Amino acid sequence: MKVVGHFGDGPLENVPDQIRRLERLGFDIAGTSEVKNEATMRWTLAAHASTEIEVSTHVIIAFPRSPFVLAQMAWELQRMTGGRVSIGLGSQVKGHNERRFSTGEWRSPARRMEDFIRSMRAVWATFQSGELVPYEGEFYQFTLCPPAFNMGPNDVPFPKLYLAAVGPEMTKVAGRVADGLLPHAFTTPKYVDEVTLPTLRAAAISEGRDPADVSINGGGLMALGADDAAVEAELLNLRQRVAFYGSTRTYHGVFAVHGLEDLGMKLHEMSVTGQWDKMPDAISLDVVREFTTHGTFDTMADTVATRLNYASRVSIPESAGSDEQIGALVEGIKAI
């Protein structure tokens, strides 16, 4: 199993040291998220600083960007690194797209994401072949690329495209057109087994693909500590993230699988009335445990092997312990 570490928190100038640490500890993949900070600068700096690790975005928000521009960036980074970049795309939700990113009307996000990915692949095919490979979709069009604007071929494979998904419609898109699926942190093994995997497999088969060709990242949150007390403390801290995600109605299908629809609506109502500081108190530790892969450094590799046995790669919190502890855990998970 491949192991994913996170980079990009803090000042931009910290990125090279973060990447060197992940490489030293044996991580296979380094991913940067897009929360407070814009992701492409960190992605580019990490690609330049890296020597062997795969450098990815986990995730970058698609709709504020042009598929052509993102395809250009990935193509050039892929060339520079000798084939070690990948892209994790996410849609975000309606409110953030319309009110934070100003992406226009929120309509059919799954269809729009599939359009985005197919458009990117058409751009890459055009660069590789030297001839226009046009794409005309519902949301995006790529029908013009004179030779002066063609970046030319690479001698490495196309960048991998991973897609973050919670609900069935976005999961179907991953099965049809993505190289891999990134389950949202707000998921559980039960939801993956009953909803995500059957949906992903059926969509891949409908496109004539082998479902085994779509890699899956281990989903859910992780509570990792030196001993049981440290793990328990981390579980208590994670109540806030479970409450935050659970307040978003887009994600309530996960609650529904566990019969927790009422909890989801309670959290949503609390968010609407601004009761953010009180929301974690509505989450029991039993609910947190359901959403969390938890264990000590000594037990986590075995826990991953059983709880996340559907995955070909897993993300671990790279700052949860000493370099020695993290390095040993990375080695243990890679042996799965």
Buried b (16+ CB within 10 A) or exposed e, 73-103: bbbbbbbebebbbbbbbbbbebeebeeeeeb
Residue percentage of the chain with pLDDT more than 90:
98
Cross-strand bridge partners of residue 85: 55
Q: What is the pLDDT of residues 43-101, one digit of tens each?
A: 999 999 999 999 999 999 999 999 999 999 999 999 999 999 999 999 998 999 999 99
**Inter-CA distances, 173 with 19, 67, 70, 165, 169, Å:** 31, 16, 19, 9, 7
Rounded Cα distance between 331 and 336, Å, is 9
Q: How wide is the angle at C-alpha 281 spanned by C-alphas 277 and 286, nearest 5°?
A: 140
Half-sphere exposure of 24 (CA within 13 A, CB side): 12
pLDDT tens-digit series, residues 118-163? 999 999 999 999 999 999 999 999 999 999 999 999 999 999 999 9
Sequence-separated (6 or more) residues with CB below 8 Å from residue 117: 67, 89, 161, 163, 173, 177, 178
Confidence (pLDDT) at 285: 94
Q: What's the confidence (pLDDT) of residue 219?
A: 78
Provide the pLDDT for residue 191.
95
**Which pLDDT value is given to residue 149?**
97
Contact of 54 with 37, CB cutoff 8 Å: no
What pLDDT sits at residue 23?
A: 98
321 C-beta neighbours (distance < 10 Å), count: 19
Tens digit of pLDDT for each residue in 216-232? 999 789 999 999 999 99
Cβ proximity of 54 and 85 under 8 Å:
yes
Mean per-residue pLDDT, 245-256: 94
Kindly report the pTM of this predicted structure: 0.94
User: Would you state the pLDDT for residue 24?
Assistant: 98
What are 174-187's pLDDT values in tens digits?
Answer: 999 999 999 989 99
Instruction: Share the mean pLDDT of the chain.
Output: 96
Instruction: Supply the pLDDT for residue 220.
Output: 83
Q: Which domains does the chain have, with CATH numbers?
A: 2-221+297-334 (3.20.20.30), 227-296 (no CATH)
What single DSSP character describes residue 248? -
State the Cα–Cα distance between residues 139 and 147, nearest whole angstrom: 25
CA distances from 30 to 129, 265, 292 (A): 30, 35, 21
Cβ neighbors of 114 (< 8 A, separation 6 or more) are 173, 176, 177
